[in-house]
Amino acid sequence: MTIPVEQLLSELENMTKQNISFVQHIRQQPETLWQQRPTNGGWTMLECIEHLNRYGNFYIPEINRRIQASTHAPALLFKSGKIGNYFAEMMLPKAKPNNMKTFKAMNPQHALLGKDTLDTFLQQQQQLLEILQRCRHTNLTKVRTAISITPLLKLRLGDTLRVVIYHNLRHIKQAEKIAAYNSSKTTRPSTIVQ
Protein backbone atom coordinates (compact mmCIF):
# COMPACT_ATOMS: atom_id res chain seq x y z
CA MET A 1 0.00 0.00 0.00
CA THR A 2 1.29 3.44 -0.92
CA ILE A 3 -0.57 6.50 0.32
CA PRO A 4 0.16 10.25 0.57
CA VAL A 5 1.48 10.97 4.08
CA GLU A 6 -0.94 13.85 4.60
CA GLN A 7 -3.91 11.64 3.71
CA LEU A 8 -2.78 8.86 6.07
CA LEU A 9 -2.11 11.23 8.97
CA SER A 10 -5.45 13.01 8.46
CA GLU A 11 -7.32 9.69 8.49
CA LEU A 12 -5.52 8.60 11.66
CA GLU A 13 -6.21 11.98 13.32
CA ASN A 14 -9.92 11.70 12.49
CA MET A 15 -10.10 8.19 13.99
CA THR A 16 -8.30 9.38 17.11
CA LYS A 17 -10.66 12.35 17.49
CA GLN A 18 -13.67 10.02 17.15
CA ASN A 19 -12.21 7.77 19.86
CA ILE A 20 -11.71 10.79 22.13
CA SER A 21 -15.28 11.94 21.50
CA PHE A 22 -16.72 8.55 22.45
CA VAL A 23 -14.73 8.34 25.69
CA GLN A 24 -15.63 11.93 26.61
CA HIS A 25 -19.28 10.96 26.08
CA ILE A 26 -19.20 7.82 28.24
CA ARG A 27 -17.25 9.73 30.89
CA GLN A 28 -20.47 11.69 31.47
CA GLN A 29 -22.47 8.47 32.01
CA PRO A 30 -22.92 6.77 35.39
CA GLU A 31 -19.91 4.71 36.45
CA THR A 32 -22.11 1.65 36.87
CA LEU A 33 -22.51 1.52 33.08
CA TRP A 34 -18.72 1.56 32.59
CA GLN A 35 -18.39 -1.43 34.93
CA GLN A 36 -21.30 -3.46 33.57
CA ARG A 37 -20.17 -6.77 32.09
CA PRO A 38 -21.89 -7.99 28.92
CA THR A 39 -24.01 -11.11 29.24
CA ASN A 40 -21.48 -13.03 27.13
CA GLY A 41 -18.90 -12.48 29.88
CA GLY A 42 -16.66 -10.27 27.71
CA TRP A 43 -14.90 -7.12 28.84
CA THR A 44 -16.63 -4.12 30.36
CA MET A 45 -16.28 -0.73 28.70
CA LEU A 46 -13.57 0.19 31.23
CA GLU A 47 -11.68 -3.02 30.52
CA CYS A 48 -11.71 -2.24 26.79
CA ILE A 49 -10.24 1.19 27.52
CA GLU A 50 -7.66 -0.13 30.01
CA HIS A 51 -6.51 -2.67 27.41
CA LEU A 52 -5.77 0.26 25.08
CA ASN A 53 -4.00 2.16 27.87
CA ARG A 54 -1.64 -0.76 28.42
CA TYR A 55 -0.65 -0.76 24.76
CA GLY A 56 -0.38 3.03 24.82
CA ASN A 57 2.10 2.73 27.71
CA PHE A 58 4.40 0.83 25.35
CA TYR A 59 3.80 2.50 22.00
CA ILE A 60 3.65 6.20 22.86
CA PRO A 61 7.15 6.35 24.42
CA GLU A 62 8.53 4.02 21.72
CA ILE A 63 7.17 6.18 18.88
CA ASN A 64 8.36 9.39 20.57
CA ARG A 65 11.89 7.96 20.97
CA ARG A 66 12.07 6.90 17.33
CA ILE A 67 10.79 10.23 16.01
CA GLN A 68 13.24 12.13 18.22
CA ALA A 69 16.18 9.99 17.06
CA SER A 70 15.24 10.21 13.38
CA THR A 71 17.57 11.92 10.93
CA HIS A 72 15.50 11.00 7.86
CA ALA A 73 13.95 13.77 5.81
CA PRO A 74 10.14 13.64 5.50
CA ALA A 75 8.62 12.12 2.36
CA LEU A 76 5.35 12.89 0.60
CA LEU A 77 4.37 9.22 0.30
CA PHE A 78 4.23 6.38 2.80
CA LYS A 79 4.90 2.85 1.55
CA SER A 80 3.62 0.16 3.88
CA GLY A 81 5.66 -2.99 4.56
CA LYS A 82 4.11 -6.42 3.99
CA ILE A 83 4.13 -7.45 7.65
CA GLY A 84 3.11 -4.01 8.90
CA ASN A 85 0.24 -3.81 6.43
CA TYR A 86 -0.90 -7.31 7.46
CA PHE A 87 -0.92 -6.37 11.16
CA ALA A 88 -2.70 -3.08 10.47
CA GLU A 89 -5.41 -4.68 8.33
CA MET A 90 -5.89 -7.36 10.99
CA MET A 91 -6.64 -4.65 13.59
CA LEU A 92 -9.37 -2.87 11.63
CA PRO A 93 -12.87 -3.47 13.03
CA LYS A 94 -14.93 -5.80 10.87
CA ALA A 95 -18.61 -6.78 10.80
CA LYS A 96 -17.60 -10.21 12.09
CA PRO A 97 -14.38 -9.53 14.03
CA ASN A 98 -11.64 -12.10 14.08
CA ASN A 99 -11.00 -13.11 17.67
CA MET A 100 -7.48 -12.61 18.95
CA LYS A 101 -5.82 -14.01 22.02
CA THR A 102 -4.80 -11.23 24.41
CA PHE A 103 -1.43 -11.44 26.12
CA LYS A 104 -1.84 -11.88 29.88
CA ALA A 105 -0.11 -8.57 30.70
CA MET A 106 -2.50 -6.75 28.37
CA ASN A 107 -5.66 -8.44 29.66
CA PRO A 108 -7.44 -6.08 32.08
CA GLN A 109 -10.33 -8.41 32.94
CA HIS A 110 -11.31 -8.11 36.62
CA ALA A 111 -8.77 -5.32 37.29
CA LEU A 112 -9.91 -2.56 39.64
CA LEU A 113 -10.69 0.29 37.28
CA GLY A 114 -12.34 3.67 37.60
CA LYS A 115 -12.59 7.14 36.10
CA ASP A 116 -8.79 7.44 36.02
CA THR A 117 -8.80 4.74 33.30
CA LEU A 118 -10.81 7.07 31.05
CA ASP A 119 -8.61 10.06 31.98
CA THR A 120 -5.45 8.10 31.10
CA PHE A 121 -6.93 7.13 27.75
CA LEU A 122 -7.84 10.74 26.94
CA GLN A 123 -4.32 11.89 27.87
CA GLN A 124 -2.78 9.20 25.68
CA GLN A 125 -5.00 10.15 22.76
CA GLN A 126 -3.92 13.79 23.07
CA GLN A 127 -0.32 12.56 22.98
CA LEU A 128 -1.13 10.55 19.84
CA LEU A 129 -2.56 13.65 18.17
CA GLU A 130 0.68 15.50 18.99
CA ILE A 131 2.70 12.58 17.59
CA LEU A 132 0.68 12.66 14.38
CA GLN A 133 1.50 16.37 14.02
CA ARG A 134 5.21 15.68 14.55
CA CYS A 135 5.07 12.86 11.99
CA ARG A 136 4.59 15.46 9.27
CA HIS A 137 8.28 16.27 9.78
CA THR A 138 9.67 12.74 9.73
CA ASN A 139 9.83 9.83 7.31
CA LEU A 140 7.06 7.31 8.00
CA THR A 141 8.66 4.69 5.75
CA LYS A 142 12.30 4.86 6.90
CA VAL A 143 11.77 5.31 10.65
CA ARG A 144 11.15 1.95 12.31
CA THR A 145 9.70 1.12 15.72
CA ALA A 146 9.73 -1.94 17.94
CA ILE A 147 6.44 -3.71 18.53
CA SER A 148 5.02 -4.95 21.81
CA ILE A 149 4.93 -8.66 20.97
CA THR A 150 8.63 -9.12 20.17
CA PRO A 151 11.73 -6.91 20.20
CA LEU A 152 13.04 -8.79 17.16
CA LEU A 153 10.51 -7.29 14.76
CA LYS A 154 10.41 -3.63 13.77
CA LEU A 155 7.69 -1.97 11.70
CA ARG A 156 7.74 1.16 9.61
CA LEU A 157 6.51 4.12 11.65
CA GLY A 158 3.47 4.58 9.40
CA ASP A 159 2.49 0.95 9.91
CA THR A 160 3.00 1.21 13.67
CA LEU A 161 0.71 4.25 13.78
CA ARG A 162 -1.90 2.35 11.75
CA VAL A 163 -1.66 -0.71 14.03
CA VAL A 164 -2.01 1.36 17.21
CA ILE A 165 -4.85 3.58 15.99
CA TYR A 166 -6.75 0.78 14.22
CA HIS A 167 -6.41 -1.29 17.42
CA ASN A 168 -7.80 1.65 19.40
CA LEU A 169 -10.69 1.95 16.96
CA ARG A 170 -11.37 -1.80 17.16
CA HIS A 171 -11.81 -1.73 20.94
CA ILE A 172 -13.69 1.58 20.95
CA LYS A 173 -16.19 -0.06 18.58
CA GLN A 174 -16.38 -2.96 21.07
CA ALA A 175 -17.02 -0.47 23.90
CA GLU A 176 -19.68 1.28 21.78
CA LYS A 177 -21.55 -2.01 21.38
CA ILE A 178 -21.36 -2.60 25.14
CA ALA A 179 -22.56 0.97 25.78
CA ALA A 180 -25.51 0.55 23.40
CA TYR A 181 -26.45 -2.75 25.03
CA ASN A 182 -26.11 -1.35 28.58
CA SER A 183 -28.14 1.76 27.68
CA SER A 184 -30.92 -0.30 26.15
CA LYS A 185 -31.10 -2.40 29.32
CA THR A 186 -31.45 0.66 31.56
CA THR A 187 -33.95 2.51 29.36
CA ARG A 188 -36.15 -0.48 28.56
CA PRO A 189 -39.59 0.02 30.15
CA SER A 190 -40.39 -2.50 32.86
CA THR A 191 -43.25 -4.89 32.24
CA ILE A 192 -46.25 -4.33 34.46
CA VAL A 193 -48.04 -7.50 35.49
CA GLN A 194 -51.75 -7.03 36.17
Q: What is the pLDDT of residues 7-64, one digit of tens each?
A: 999 999 999 999 999 999 999 988 888 888 777 778 888 999 999 999 999 999 999 9
Q: What is the pLDDT of residue 190?
A: 36
pTM: 0.87
Torsion of CA 24, 26, 32, 36, to 10 degrees: -130
- Which residue in 134, 127, 138, 192 sits closest to 165, CA to CA? 127
Other C-beta atoms closer than 10 Å to the C-beta of 67 total 18
Report the pLDDT averaged over residues 105-111. 63
Q: Residue count of the chain, please give it.
A: 194
Q: pLDDT band for position 95 (50/70/90)?
A: low
Ranges 3-12, 124-133, 146-155: which has the least confidence: 146-155
Task: Return d(Cα 123, Cα 128) in angstroms, integer.
Answer: 9
Q: Are 27 and 115 in contact (CB under 8 A)?
A: yes
Domains of the chain by start residue, with CATH: 2-187 (1.20.120.450)
Residue 192 — pLDDT band, cuts 50, 70, 90? very low
pLDDT at 100: 60
